[in-house]
Amino acid sequence: MSSADGGGTISPAGSASRVLPGLLPGQPLTALAPMQDVTDLPFMRVMAHYGAPDYFFTEFFRVHGQSRPEKHILRSLVENQTGRPVFAQLIGEDVTHMVRTVKELLSYPIAGIDLNMGCPAPKIYKKNVGGGLLRDPARIDTLLGALRDAVPGLFTVKMRIGFDSTENYERVLGLINKHGVDLLSVHGRTVKEGYRSNVHYDHIAIAVRTVRCPVLANGNITSADKAAAVLAETGAAGVMLGRHAIRNPWIFRQCRERFATSATHTASRPLSSVLCPPSSVFAPTLADVREYIARLYRETQTPDIPERAHVAKMKKYLNFVGQSVDAEGKFLHEMRRAMTETELFAVCDRHLLTEPTKPFATEPYPGIIARPNCETPVESCSLDTVTA
């Protein structure tokens, strides 16, 4: 495990958990959530350009009887020059094949192995993997034990607070302790709640009080101020951000600047003391957003993808970006109708360069909803179904 060997102290199962150091020692940690069809090598490069998180997590490697680690996901490990640790996430439930895949991945430069116990896509949980595992604590017990034995370094888990209720939640947290998990990321919704309900940050706080490893809070963390508030409420060791890093690639930089102003991760600290936005936090303009879109377009473009297909993929990202461009949703309305590169950037120029110094909204405008999977006619385990 070359990243782990070079960058941090690895704790054996059953010992006090230690994680790889963040960019700024003493600050709460930040992580980019694993997002299928999003957190590939080009996207990690873009995030690093604007301010990398402390940790990256790959798209999940699908594990089954005939599986081998997907080559395009392996690129985010072997060609990654962001300078930040990258954890390899697995999704599956067959112990033999999960252990086999771990052994294969140990030859790559990974920071650790992460188990997906939270994907809420029906096509995933119906196979009893991802969030589907939360219905079966006995299966989780067996799987965590086998993976802990197979992983000599950092072993992490990303989970939700339950499948359709929280009845198994504390039992699963007990298993996290039993098997010496090194880092736990908790999305504060059940699988069935998807992304539409309120996030139950009180349940993330339960995990913080219960498990012996650091906890990353995940779910609807929209801004650096929201991250500070969630850390104050939960006492978590850090935050994991997904969709809102697509919308705002400066968010990890902003979090570090925000965290530097107050002890945000003290649960007893009044929320009012962490919500006053300091002037030292970077505030992007619409011109900055235009540059981000151009960079993202170039980084994700490949010769084998037709122009219209690439534009369709870009529109999935821009569904999130557009939530902070204008309160009326005019950018989103026009962007969704663009079919070519020329049309797409003409829309961007009209809405982002007419008033280039106008601030890009810190939070999504109320009522402006991203609907990325409307760009394709089939359900996929991607942006709209597995992001955080």
8 pLDDT higher than 80: no
Q: Which domains does the chain have, with CATH numbers?
A: 2-273 (3.20.20.70), 286-386 (no CATH)
333 pLDDT higher than 50: yes
Give the mean model confidence (pLDDT) for residues 249-261.
Answer: 95
**Catalytic residue from among 119, 213, 255, 348:** 119
CB atoms within 10 A of CB 353: 12
Q: What is the DSSP annotation of 98-113?
A: HHHHHHHHTTS--SEE
Contact assessment for residue 252 and residue 223, using Cβ atoms and an 8 Å cutoff: no
Tokens of 330: 């005019």
pLDDT band at 1 (very low <50, low <70, confident <90, very high): very low
**Residue 381: active-site member:** no
127 pLDDT higher than 80: yes
187 pLDDT higher than 90: yes
* pLDDT above 90 coverage of the chain, percent: 84
Q: Tell me the per-residue pLDDT of 67-91, one tens digit each, with 9 for 90 and over.
A: 999 999 999 999 999 999 999 999 9
Spatial CA neighbour of 23 closest among 259, 224, 292, 279: 259
pLDDT band at 202 (very low <50, low <70, confident <90, very high): very high
In this predicted structure, what is the pLDDT of residue 371?
A: 86
Spatial CA neighbour of 21 closest among 32, 6, 33: 6
pLDDT band at 378 (very low <50, low <70, confident <90, very high): very low
In this predicted structure, what is the pLDDT of residue 388?
A: 56
Residue of 256 and 272 predicted with greater confidence: 256
Contact assessment for residue 151 and residue 102, using Cβ atoms and an 8 Å cutoff: yes
- DSSP character at residue 240: E
Contact assessment for residue 224 and residue 264, using Cβ atoms and an 8 Å cutoff: no
In this predicted structure, what is the pLDDT of residue 266?
A: 45
246 pLDDT higher than 80: yes
* Cα gap 200→189, rounded to integer Å: 6
In this predicted structure, what is the pLDDT of residue 12?
A: 34
Cβ-Cβ contacts under 8 Å for 137 (sequence gap 6 or more): 168, 171, 172, 175
Give the mean model confidence (pLDDT) for residues 54-60.
Answer: 98
Cβ-Cβ contacts under 8 Å for 330 (sequence gap 6 or more): 351
In this predicted structure, what is the pLDDT of residue 178?
A: 98
318 pLDDT higher than 70: yes
Alpha carbon 279 to its chain's center: 27
Quote the longest CA-to-CA distance of the chain.
Answer: 58
pLDDT band at 374 (very low <50, low <70, confident <90, very high): low
pLDDT band at 278 (very low <50, low <70, confident <90, very high): low
In this predicted structure, what is the pLDDT of residue 3?
A: 39
Contact assessment for residue 200 and residue 161, using Cβ atoms and an 8 Å cutoff: yes
Q: What is the mean pLDDT of the chain?
A: 89
Beta strands in 313-364 (DSSP E): none
362 pLDDT higher than 90: yes
How big is the CA angle at 67 (ends 117 and 58), to the nearest 5 degrees? 50
* Cα gap 252→256, rounded to integer Å: 6
Cβ-Cβ contacts under 8 Å for 265 (sequence gap 6 or more): 28, 231, 232, 235, 236, 237, 238, 259
Helix (H, G, I), strand (E, B) or coil at 50: helix
**Residues linked to residue 91 through DSSP beta bridges, in sequence order:** 62
| 4-8, 33-37, 159-163: least confidently modelled range | 4-8
Angle of the 307-321 helix axis to the 341-352 helix axis, nearest 10: 20
In this predicted structure, what is the pLDDT of residue 263?
A: 53
In this predicted structure, what is the pLDDT of residue 18?
A: 74
